[in-house]
Structure 1
Amino acid sequence: MTLSPPKPPRREPKVDLSGLTDRQILVRQGVVTLGELAFGPRWQSDLAAALSQEAGRRVGQAQVSHWVLGVRPVPESLVEPLQQLAMRIAADLVRRADRIRADWSAAPQEDVDALPGPPA
């Protein structure tokens, strides 16, 4: 059996924010943070789909990629839908974290003791 040669390291995309204003850079960073925290490392397509639904118009992965790379700024018309999406996702993450805490905060033996005994 021959081993295939190792794959070359993934090339980092070239980000150029020189054409963006300070506000546009902040909005872009918010998009990146939201995408990574809400959808994980391969987040652009999922964010585009969620934003499309929130904004009521199609937003493609290529468009999100352009924002990330600094090719284009995030359109002002999408800032409010992004804020609404971010707040909805944040609330959902809090709800899920509360559920996890509730499920795991009690000592396991306490949970076992609380179970009903065998039928008599």
Structure 2
Amino acid sequence: MTKKELALYGELMFGPRFQPRLAAILSHFRGKPIASAQVSQWLAGPDGQRDPPDWLDPLVVRAAIQMRHDLLARAETLEAMNTKHFYSEVTKHGFMGGPWKGVRDDDYVDPEATVKLPTNSN
């Protein structure tokens, strides 16, 4: 795994200040402590200097699988909550001043409010 890939995994899982949380979940799966400073060292400097070790790859993938599972569970809970409230409010008040038939919650999505995710530009 390259430094760039490790950084992308970390940021996608935990946001821009990911090192402490990434270190914690890697420590959990490794069964030994991994310090946040160690994660920072793996990310620092040019490729070829203190690169992430090979044993880290399966731990990072396992952490990503766990995080994906957790995020999907949270998304499903939000979906259930939104469905209940969205349809009760739309049927009561209409949709943005218009009729509510055929309206979906996706119609409320504001692209400007969407979290900007890091990209993997090679």
Q: TM-score range by the shorter chain?
A: 0.5 to 0.7
| Greater alpha carbon shift after TM alignment, 83-92 vs 68-77 | 68-77
- Quick one: which amino acid aligns to residue 108 of structure 1? S
- Map 1:1-120 → 2, pairs under 5 A: 24-25=1-2, 28-70=3-45, 71-106=49-84, 107-109=87-89
| Greater alpha carbon shift after TM alignment, 72-81 vs 33-42 | 33-42
Give TM-score scaled by structure 1 length.
Answer: 0.62
**Partner Cα distance (1:89, 1:36) in 2:** 12
| Greater alpha carbon shift after TM alignment, 40-49 vs 100-109 | 100-109
Structure 2 unaligned residues grouped into runs of 5+:
93-122
**Partner Cα distance (1:85, 1:100) in 2:** 22
Q: Highest Rg: 1 or 2?
A: 1
Aligned residues: 87
Change (3 A) 1:98 1:29: farther
Q: CA RMSD in A?
A: 2.2
* Percent of aligned pairs with the same amino acid: 34
